[in-house]
Amino acid sequence: MVLFVLVGFASFNGKGGQWMNMERLLEEDNRVLCVDPMHKDESDEYIEGKVGVKVRRMEGMEILPYCVNIISVGIEEIGELIDEREFMVVLSCKGDMCMDSSEGILRGMGIRNPNAYAFGLGCFALPPKLGLLIDLEDKVDLGMMYELELLQRLWKLLLHNGKAFYRANMDGKVYDWFSYYLDKLEMETKEEV
């Protein structure tokens, strides 16, 4: 069972947002907590139409199964309250966190769960397929954490001129900014990237 914490997924007056269908995810005993101050501006009917399951507006911090639990506050206000020991995947669409590592995102949210991993998504990213992350619990161990951090660094590259990097490499050109990204990605050559 995975607790998914979705941060910054709210839509703007029914336009945009990161909502996706969560029926199958919740049928498999996973739980979902959505945290965003702007959720208060969305109707339950609108959200239910997107996620395919019932919406529950939270008052306390009991996160129930088989529904999407929503709280309309900033994650900083509840980060320490969700410090559970269960496996947790945090997906953050907060623009100021999209470039941080997993550790940086969790620290910024006040989440100290050693069994948590965070992915920073861009504000305009396509809604993620949460089902693809369900089996992380079985795969993540100390040996895999480096690979997940590498994935986060590769995502940084894509956000930071990745297409230009690829084109320059295919054209055989070398730019001074290559060394900066190679250092950030902890890779040796542009061919390796």
> Which of the residue ranges 43-52, 81-90, 176-185 would you say has the lowest mean pLDDT?
176-185
CA atoms of 39 and 11, how far apart (whole Å) = 8
The domain of 45 spans 3-140
Place of tokens 């070398």: 174
162 pLDDT tier (thresholds 50, 70, 90): low
Question: Quick check: is 182 in a domain?
Answer: no
- Tell me 126's DSSP state: P
Q: Is the pLDDT of residue 189 over 70?
A: yes
Total domains, the chain: 1
On whether the CB atoms of residues 56 and 26 are closer than 8 A, the answer is: no
| CA distances to 94, 101, 137 from 104, in Å | 13, 5, 20
Q: Is the pLDDT of residue 83 over 90?
A: no
- What's residue 54's pLDDT? 97
Question: Quick check: is 190 in a domain?
Answer: no
- What's residue 33's pLDDT? 96
Question: Quick check: is 179 in a domain?
Answer: no
> Which of the residue ranges 13-17, 85-89, 109-113, 132-136 would you say has the lowest mean pLDDT?
13-17
Percent of the chain with pLDDT over 70: 73
Question: Quick check: is 192 in a domain?
Answer: no
